[in-house]
Amino acid sequence: MLFRKTNLFLILGIILLVLSHAWGQEEGVYMGDLGVIVITPTRGPRMLKDLPTNVSVITREEIVESRSQNVGEVLRNRLGVEIRRYGTLGASTYVGLRGCSAYQTLVMVDGRPVNSISDGIADLSQFPVDNIERIEVVRGPASALYGANALGGVVNIITREPKLEKLMVGVDVGLGSFGTQISRLDFGTKDTNIKTYFTISNNTSDGWRKNSAYHNHNFTGKLAYNAGRIGNFELRGGYYRGKLGLPGVNYEWVQLDPITWKRIFRDEKFAADPNHNQEDEKEYADLKYSSRGENSKLLLRAYASSDQRRDRNPNPAEPRDDFHDNITRGAEVQLNTLYGVTLGTEFRQDKYRQRNEINSRTLIGEENLNESVFLQETLRLKPFTAVLGTRYDHHSEYGGQVNPNFSLVSQFSQAGESLKLSFNLARGFRAPTFCDLYQPYTDYLIYQAQGNPDLKPERAWSYDFGFEYQRSNFLLGRLTIFSTEIEDLIDWAPVDPANLWGLWVPSNVAKAYSQGVEVEVIHQIMSGLFHSVNYTYVHSAGKKEGEEKYEIAPYKPYNRANYRIHYTSNFGLRVSLATEYVGEQWSERGKTGDRLADYFLLNMRIAQKIGNLETYVSFENLLGRKYQTVFGYPMPGRTIVAGISWKFGS
């Protein structure tokens, strides 16, 4: 009870801070992110200030200032966002929203889903920031527009395009800790009817731990043509190739201390799998047409992607050489009308093949089809805006799903200040993956696993209430209270609960909930100097069939808090200092298993711009704290990346 009171007092204190500033300051110039136009929450352009408080945007300027190398690094320290990393550059990085897992969070690029169809998650380390214009985050179910896996929310990566009618070129090179080398080139053109934009990058690192080296190549391209009254045509494509060492945990997998029967931990850099590695190769093409009608807009889209992985481990005790092939093809039709009605349909076919190259045997070779229709209407009656929508998905394996949503926003303003109140109610679902459904009996030496073709989707209802206040363009405060309840949770568990070394299978035998509060304050202190703070309290718990008591979910800390202060001078100097606090968490449900201690990180960025050149240096974990986001995968101490960038025409 004391813990809950402490959090309540913290939230009330931040609210009072907002209100005290609101009536005690002169007008400033900070506009926050409210003027940004986003498309994810409604499948159409809307200003962020007109949307509920569960929507956030990370702008291009913020991405550049962060000096992040991939999307996972960009999303760190963001409100309601949980990033779980397995190591340094290139190591697997996953995102969760509001206490929901990476399996329940949909990641998209320009509205195209990129979660792996085999395991259901998106590895954000494989999405460089080279061509990203902004990242839109919707916290809470979005299945009414985007279907499966948007149970916890959506992260939509919006790519760049030239804005001015001239050549645009950028070069970025950097060096960092652990032999890290970064090189990027981007260039684009624009004239009356044609726009092009291309990026090429190459990143390498020796890694901090043994067998954690990384090397990747990435290419993206966009070609757009304005055909006048006929409409606009866009073709986007990309190619990614990477190789990564997989060190495994830093303790002995099987061997235990003969006296204490506890794990034997080695040096932090120790690799339980000294020769395990994976190679990834991804490619995609996305063709889009949009009409130029005055009263309505028609969108047509076709896309295809291929995601291949080679997983090798020559360990004599458990040799592995598996080839994974994920292929997706899809098409969409969407119509936005003058009367606020959006309707459309989507077809998607997924194929997955897993092959054991050691004995030349196909383990999984399946495909499925999903067909859907969606409808949404926006009603405006000042000061209220209501959005009602629903989507029906029919899957060839698990049948139909209906997911409605309702949101209401009311806005009030007077000279120098504005107030927004919002409410969301939505249903979402997470689909079982190919591995959940079809994995054949597999012996992993210390346990066995097998899929379950009778699985049903996870289903959830969620609601949130939001409050947002802005004062004279220099102060912005947000508070959102949310709750999500999940049924038919897919849980991998041993068939015999008393035998953890036996056969594990997935089943719909669990329930879960996540409840919490999100608070954010952004304040412009003076011209060129602002600071921000956000705090997320989440209580995530679950129970299995037959259990009466809900137990705390694994890897779900109660508290996350972030603070950032940023200064921009009139002579091109930019300095940013950021802190990150994450509370304690446990590797197993009910605060069992291994404890991950809470941690506090201090990060710093310094950049100096001279004409078209900018030099920068970035410090991560400046205090050299020891911490983990996944047990057995320690993160490094202080790391440094320094470089120089040159921009022309942007």
Residues forming a β-bridge with 413 = 418
Residue percentage of the chain with pLDDT more than 90: 75
Q: Pick the residue with more confidence: 25 or 105?
A: 105
Instruction: Determine the pLDDT at residue 11.
Output: 45
DSSP H helices in 224-380: none
- Measured CA to CA, the distance from residue 185 to residue 165 in angstroms comes to 19
Span 564-589, pLDDT tens digits: 999 999 999 999 999 999 999 999 99
Is the pLDDT reported for residue 19 higher than 50?
A: no
pLDDT of residue 650: 63
pLDDT at 595: 92
pLDDT tens digits, 168-189: 899 999 999 999 999 999 999 9
CA distance 451 to 436: 5
Q: How far is CA 57 from CA 131, 277, 574, in A?
A: 16, 35, 21
Task: Determine the pLDDT at residue 253.
Answer: 62
Tens of pLDDT along 299-321?
A: 999 999 999 999 999 988 888 99
Which secondary structure element, helix H or strand E, spans residue 310, and what is its range? strand 296-313
Condensed to tens digits (0 to 9), the pLDDT of residues 363-406 reads 999 999 999 999 999 999 889 999 999 999 999 999 999 999 99
Positive/negative CA dihedral, 336, 341, 342, 343: negative
| Residue 278 · residue 308 · CB < 8 Å | no
CA distances from 304 to 120, 150, 182, 284, 521 (A): 17, 20, 29, 6, 41
Summarize pLDDT for 78-102 with one digit per residue, the tens.
Answer: 999 999 999 999 999 999 999 999 9
pLDDT at 261: 60
Question: What separation, in Å, do the N-terminal and C-terminal C-alpha atoms of the chain show?
Answer: 54
How many Cβ atoms from other residues are within 10 Å of residue 198's Cβ?
Answer: 17
Q: Give the three-state DSSP class for 230.
A: helix
Beta strands in 160-213 (DSSP E): 168-176, 180-190, 194-205
**Per mean pLDDT, which range of 8-22, 103-117, 492-506 is the poorest?**
8-22
Please give the torsion angle defined by the CA atoms of residues 227, 228, 229 and 233, in that order, rounded to the nearest 10 degrees.
30
Per the model's pLDDT, the better-predicted residue between 256 and 531 turns out to be: 531
Neighbouring-strand partners of residue 618: 605, 641
Average pLDDT value for residue range 546-566: 94
pLDDT score for 267: 83
Give me the CATH code for the 2-648 domain, please: 2.40.170.20
Distances (CA, A) of 502 to 2, 198, 448, 495: 42, 51, 6, 7
pLDDT band at 40 (very low <50, low <70, confident <90, very high): confident
The residues, any chain, with a CB within 8 Å of residue 483's CB and separated by 6 or more, are: 462, 463, 464, 513, 514, 515
What does the pLDDT average to over 600-616? 95
Amino acid at 510: A
Task: Answer yes or no: is pLDDT of 443 > 60.
Answer: yes
Would you state the pLDDT for residue 49? 83
- State the Cα–Cα distance between residues 568 and 56, nearest whole angstrom: 23
The pLDDT score that the predictor gives to residue 15 is 43
The more confident residue out of 285 and 12 is 285
Confidence of residue 33 (pLDDT cuts 50, 70, 90): low
Is it the case that residue 8 has pLDDT exceeding 80? no
Cα atoms in the Cβ-side hemisphere of radius 13 Å centred on 577: 7
Cα-to-chain-centroid distance, residue 33: 19
pLDDT of residue 2: 34
| pLDDT tier at 259, thresholds 50, 70, 90 | low
Report the chain's mean pLDDT, rounded to a whole number. 90
Average pLDDT of 61-87? 93
- The domain limits of the chain are 2-648
pLDDT average, residue stretch 47-65: 89
